[in-house]
Structure formats: C-alpha cells, structure tokens
Structure 1
Amino acid sequence: MTMRGLIWFVLLFAAAAALALVGVFDGGQVLLVIPPYRVDVSLNLFVVALVVTFIVLYAVLRAIRSVWKMPQRVSAYRTRSRLAKANAALRDAIGHLYAGRFSKAEKSARDSLNVDENAGAAGLIGAKAAHEMHEYARRDEWLAKVTDSDWQDARLMATADMRADGRDADGALVALTEMQAQGGRRLHAQQIALRAQQQLKNWGEVLKLVKTLEKREALHPAVAVRLRQVAAENLLRDRRHNPDALLEFWQTLSPVERQSPRLADLAAELLIALDRRNDARKIVEEALNHNWDARLLRRYPDCASPGDALPLIQRAEAWQKERTEDADLLFTLGRLCLHQQLWGKAQAFLESALKLADNEPLKIRTHRALARLHEQLGDSDKASQHYRESALAMNVV
C-alpha cells in the first residue's frame, strides 16, 4: 500500500468514526417535500445517503473519464514500451561492441533508433561496429546519422580516430581541423593527430606533437624517446643534400637527442657523405663524451680527413688511457693508424683488439682490417690467413 492509499484509508476510518459519534447523539429528522410526495427520514440516514450518492457519482465520473482517455493511455503505454525496448537495445549494443560481437552490436544499435534521442549514441556505436568489420561505407552512413549539435564533438572525434585507425590520415586530420574550428582542443585529439602525422610522414609535426604530449604526460617516456628519435632521424635524412640545413636542424635538437648514439651516428654519416668531416667529428666526440658507444667508435675513423688522422689519434689515445681494455676503442685506433699509414701501431692496436674482442662482428672486422694491413705491407700469406679467419668467424648455419 502506498502512502497516499494509507492516508485515504485513515481518513475514511476517521469519517466513519465521526459519523457514528454524530449518529448516537443526533436525533434530527430531514423532511423532503416533492409534491405530491413527502419523505421524512432521519438525519443520519440522509447523511449516509448523501455520502453514498457522492461516492457513486464520483465512481461513474472516473469511469467515464477513464474511457474518454483510453486512447491517450494506450498511446502513452506504447511510447513507454517503445522507449524501454530502444534503451534495452542500446544497452545491448554497448555490451556487444565491447564483447567483440560487432555484427550484433550494429543490429542492436539499429533497433535502438526507434527513439530519436538515441540517434547520437546509436550512430557512434553502429559506426564503430561497422569500422571494426572494415565496412567503411556503412561506417560513414552511421556517422551521418549523428546530427544533434550536442553530439558533434563526439562524432568528429570518433571520425578522426577511426579514419586514423583505417590509415586514412588525411580524413582524420580534416575531422580534427573541423573540431578545432569549433573550439574543441583535447588531449585525445592530439594523440590522434600524432598517429595521422606519422602515417603521412610529416616528421616536423610529429616532433612538435611528441614534445607537447610529453609535457602533458600523455606519452610513456620510452615511447616519447623512440618517436622523437624516429622523427629526428627522418628530418636529418630529409636534409642529406644540404649540410648547412642539416647542421642548423641538429642545433635545434635537445642536448639529450644530440647525445644519442643513434642520432649522432646518423648525422655524422650524412655529413661525411657531404665531405663535412670536421663537423661530423665534433658531433661524434660530443656524443661519446656523454654516451660511450661502439657504434660511434666505429664511425670515428671515417671522420678523419685524407692524410690527417693525427688529431683523432691523439684524442683516441687520450680515451685509451682511461679505457685500456676496450676492444672497440683499440679497433678504432688501429683503423686510424691505418688511415695515417702508421703500420706498426696499427698492427699492435688491431692485434690487441682481436685478443679482447668478445663478439663475432668485432672479430670479423678486426681480421679484415689486419688482412688489409698485411696487403699494404706486401705479406699476402698473412693477409689470406686473416681473410680466412674472418670467414670462419662468421657463424653461418
């Protein structure tokens, strides 16, 4: 029983009690004259009859009103039923979508369109389901159903995300540009833009977006480092025909990036190809001062100008005083001495490197360097022996 019914119940009992009390003490009569008739009844009976008449009239009027409003009630019931079914279908669509049942998700989303208010949510769910099934034309049809102004940001964000996922980078950027024109600037939009710019190989934009997202802590540090490195590598390669532009871009990189062995090695390689060996040397030396790396040591001899490797030999010998058993450094010194035609020192450094070498590639390179050295000295037997040793050092299965 509801609170309203309980109150009516209490009021009826109170009225009945009041009538009973009045009936005990009241002996009045009511005379009704309806010519040619006269009706004489007790006051109590008259009151009871009046109450009963009121109740009957009220019940009849309620019945007439109910019959009169029956079409409206039926219509309201059907509307509620349709709304309940549509909302249930929308909930099912969400469940199917995240469960990976994309065909069922799309069907449920279509069923939920019976209610206009569901058009926005159903359109996005249906579009995502169609996208996951690679039905891109149907996906766009679903997105076109999202016309409510309150859902436009969601539609544009979903469009950009799905187009980037479908390798349609231009379409993704168009959607993001439209959203930004409407005043929407969101972190997720920048993440989508990053994916799209990577696909388009717009490495300058990639580098800007990575820096922005890194400041907002929206990228894992390892991912940010890798993306910055890839972008910088490609931007360096884009300038491989212009040494001044390459060096200018190099200076725009952060100290951490300039000290990266991978980037420093690439920059040095490109500068050497452009005959800017002194600039390449500075880059390699700066990186080695912060990150000792075998790759940079292998690149270092290439930085020597023809017949002028002495400054590099002196620098490498200074390093060697602190790293007496570094096989890669000894190999580098051997190559530099070969370059300067210091045959005795070259042989000593290379043989020491061979003794300390603990990996197959270094052994192969050292044997080949010794073979070339003995060729220069005219000792073909030893040269052949080292070529043979380099071949045997290859672990070919």
Structure 2
Amino acid sequence: MRAALWLLALFGIAAAVALFAGNNQGTVTVFWPPWRVDLSLNLVLLLLAGAFVLLYAALRALAALLSLPHQARQWRVQQKERALHSSLLDAMVQLIAGRFSRARKAALAALAQERALEGLDVSLPQARQLRVLSHLLAAESAQSLQDRPARDAHLQLALNESAERGVLSPETREGVQLRSARWALEDRDPAAALARLEELPQGVQRRTLALRLHLKAARQERRTLEALQTARLLAKHRAFSEAAARSIVRGLATEVLSDSHDAAQLLRAWGALESNEREMPEVAIQAAQRMVLLNGDLAVARSWLLPVWERMVEQPRSLGDGLRVRLTRALEAGLDSVDADWLARIESAQRNNPRDANLQYLAGMACMKRQLWGKAQQLLTQAGLGLQDTELYRRAWLALAQLAEARDDAPQALAAWKRAAQTENL
C-alpha cells in the first residue's frame, strides 16, 4: 500500500512539472556587456538545482574528509573497548572452566586495556565497575592458585574501587565482601570471615548467601549458639530441605548442650532452645545425659525426657533402636531418685509392651532399686535374653549376678558373671 501511494505521488509530481515546464514561456536575460544572453526559465531552474546539488555534495565530501581523524580515533577506541569486554568474558569463561592461570592473565589484560583507554582520555560509563570485576576475577583465580599475596592485593584494589558511594551500585561492593568472606572460610580463617560479614549492612547479612557463609564460619569458630540461630533463619528462608534443616538444627542444638560445663550453664542452654527443638528426641536425650554427667538435678532431666517417653509409649516405632537404648540409659541413671509417678509410667509401659527388652531391663533395674528381688530377677532374666545393646546386656547380667550372690546361689551367680564377662570380648 505504501509503495502504491509513493508511485501515485511521483506521477502527480511528474504531471505538475510537465504542465509547468511545457507551458512556461518565461525567459531570463543576462546582461554581460557587451553581450546579452537569453536563457529559458526552465534551464535556469535546472542550473540552479544542479548547482545546489553540486555544492551540497562538495560540502558533504569536505565534512567527511575533515572527520576522518575523528572517525579513525573512534574506531581505535571501539576496537580497544571490544577487546576489553572480550578479555573480561574470556576471564569468566576460563575461570568457570578451571583454567585459573589463563583466567588471571585475561583479567590482567582487561585491566591493561582499560588503562589504555583511560590514557586516550576515553571515559567508559562502566569503567569503575569493569575494574572491580576484573580485580575480582584476578583475585578469584589467585585464590584457586593458592597465591594469597596476589589475591589480597587484587581484593584491596577491588574494595578501593568500590568504596565511593553513589558511583557504583551497592551490590558491587557487597559482592566483593561476600567473596572475600568465602575465601577466608576456604583458608580456615573463620574470624576473618565473620569480620567481613559484620561489615555488611543489616539487610545484606540476612540474605541466604550471607547466612550460609555465617553458618559455616560460626561452626568453624565453635560459636555453636550463634550457628544455631543462623541455621534457624536459613530454615525459615527455606535454604535447605525440611529434612536437611531439621538435621542441621538438631546437630547444632546437641552441640550447644554438649558444650555446657555445669548444670547452670546447661539450664541456660536448654532455655535458649525453641520448643520444637526441645521436642526432638536426640536433643532431649542428650540434655538429660549431660545433666547426669554434670551431677545436676535428675528430676529436671526426667522432665525433659517425659515428651520423648510419651512418644515412645504411644508410638513404639517412632524411635529407632539407638534412641531407645539411649533413653533407657538416661532414665536408668536417675532410678535412685525416681518418684512414684515415673515408676508407674515404667511399669505401665512394660506391661503394655511385655516383649520389649529395653523396657524389661528398665523395669527390672527399678525393681532392684526398690528391693523387689524376685520381680527384678524375672524381668532382668527376660531382658538378658533379648537385649541387643552390649552395654545394657552386660549390666543386666551383672545385676543378676549380684542378685544370685545375695541369695547365696553360687552356680547361678557364676553363670551370670560368665555371661557378663563374655561381653568384654565382643
């Protein structure tokens, strides 16, 4: 449609020119003494149009000729700028490919080309950001090559380039600081990593990447409670799968309890845990066992174990064999001071699950502490035939040997001592 309109317009112009030129009888007389030159008006108009076109073409040619040096300089700058970006991209590619020496060489080439452009009085809009990225790539390559002096030098230059606020986006400097924190972790220097992370703004410190680095640094620095708090934030940000987050939090909570050196410190550590962490069987059992080792209040330890015990009674398969053994040991340690409520719980659980060897052992030891010798012997004998844990098996037969000696039953005592001694060779 557009072509048809142009064609119609050309026909219209041609028709108008033909009408004007065909009927134009005007002349132009030029007096050049002693001559007189008569020219048709159409010819004069054609000569004027031709002169205008010739003059315009000459001016354009002269402008093009005068602009050749400027165009040549622009071409050289463009080639250097392309070489700069090419070197920067090559450094990234070589770094990803694991060619660290080539990556550093390409990054240094990019820096040299940027300096050459600066020497030509050419200011690139992203010149400072290009320098920061080039130094960062060179530092990353030096870190992979274990060249720490070169890494620190390039890192400091990158930090200096990104120090001026308002020139670069804040993410550029934050990225450099995060990378430096990761390098400190790779060098097993968690204190330096934490110092780098503390220099970041509060909002940046709560990013997933920063929290991951903070978690690793805190664990290396043995700041277990701080690591636990960081792991909680990561779990809320869904940085891990649900199973992985639970495993990490559980392990750190257990470490927090294990680091307690007295009962008061253990109570403070327990109070610092969240409710869902206290309900974890591994955490509660570890806290109770630690309280026993620290000679603390065993009633408090049993109160920590109560949710785990109720869970085991209601859902016998909810706890693995290892946890059931640990729970049995933790409760056994406080049988001397156990109250009537706990004795009733143990007896009721054993009656409801009479084939559970761990419950038979625990109930038998409780009866022995209460001097119920007959029932204790019956339960411990049944437990001794079914226990899989070596330590509980040995304790059960030691208790049976003591009961036999109390009855002056030497043959049975000898048999029990022999069974207990056999576990020493297992």
Specify the alignment match of 2:109 in structure 1.
111
Q: Aligned-pair distance for 1:154?
A: 2.5
Structure 1 counterpart of 2:190, from 148, 151, 169: 169
Specify the alignment match of 1:129 in structure 2.
141
Specify the alignment match of 1:366 in structure 2.
393
1:383 aligns with 2:421: no
Size of the alignment, in residue pairs? 382
Specify the alignment match of 2:260 in structure 1.
239
The answer (yes or no) to whether the contact 2:231–2:248 under 8 Å persists in 1 is yes
Question: Structure 2 unaligned runs (5+)?
Answer: 115-126, 163-167, 313-318
The answer (yes or no) to whether the contact 2:383–2:396 under 8 Å persists in 1 is no
SS at match of 1:26: coil
TM-score (ref. length: structure 1): 0.82
1:334 aligns with 2:364: yes
Specify the alignment match of 1:354 in structure 2.
384
1:81 aligns with 2:79: yes
Specify the alignment match of 1:305 in structure 2.
336
**Aligned residue runs from structure 1 range 243-262, under 5 A:** 243-262=263-282
Specify the alignment match of 2:51 in structure 1.
53
Specify the alignment match of 1:62 in structure 2.
60
Distance 2:137 2:9 in 1: 54
Distance 1:286 1:365 in 2: 23
Specify the alignment match of 1:27 in structure 2.
25
Change (3 A) 1:93 1:9: farther
Structure 2 counterpart of 1:143, from 155, 158, 161: 155
> Amino acid of the residue matched to residue 301 of structure 1?
E
> Amino acid of the residue matched to residue 382 of structure 2?
S
Distance 2:63 2:49 in 1: 21
TM-score (ref. length: structure 2): 0.77
SS at match of 2:299: helix
SS at match of 2:199: helix
SS at match of 2:295: coil
> Amino acid of the residue matched to residue 357 of structure 2?
A
**Residues 161-190 of structure 1: CA deviation (Å, up to 9, x unaligned):** 333344332222222222217x64542323
Distance 1:95 1:330 in 2: 66
> Amino acid of the residue matched to residue 81 of structure 1?
Q
The answer (yes or no) to whether the contact 2:397–2:417 under 8 Å persists in 1 is no
Specify the alignment match of 2:123 in structure 1.
none
> Amino acid of the residue matched to residue 50 of structure 1?
L
1:294 aligns with 2:325: yes
> Amino acid of the residue matched to residue 102 of structure 1?
F
The answer (yes or no) to whether the contact 2:178–2:197 under 8 Å persists in 1 is yes
Question: Structure 1 unaligned runs (5+)?
Answer: none
Distance 2:394 2:221 in 1: 44
Q: Aligned-pair distance for 1:295?
A: 1.3
SS at match of 1:62: helix
Specify the alignment match of 2:289 in structure 1.
269
SS at match of 1:218: coil
Distance 2:13 2:155 in 1: 64
> Amino acid of the residue matched to residue 195 of structure 2?
V
SS at match of 1:33: strand
The answer (yes or no) to whether the contact 1:371–1:382 under 8 Å persists in 2 is no
**Residues 264-297 of structure 1: CA deviation (Å, up to 9, x unaligned):** 2222222223323333233233431234533111
**Residues 122-181 of structure 1: CA deviation (Å, up to 9, x unaligned):** 333333333333333333333334314322222223323333344332222222222217
> Amino acid of the residue matched to residue 327 of structure 1?
A
Distance 2:103 2:12 in 1: 59
Q: Aligned-pair distance for 1:320?
A: 0.7
The answer (yes or no) to whether the contact 1:304–1:312 under 8 Å persists in 2 is no
Identity %: 28
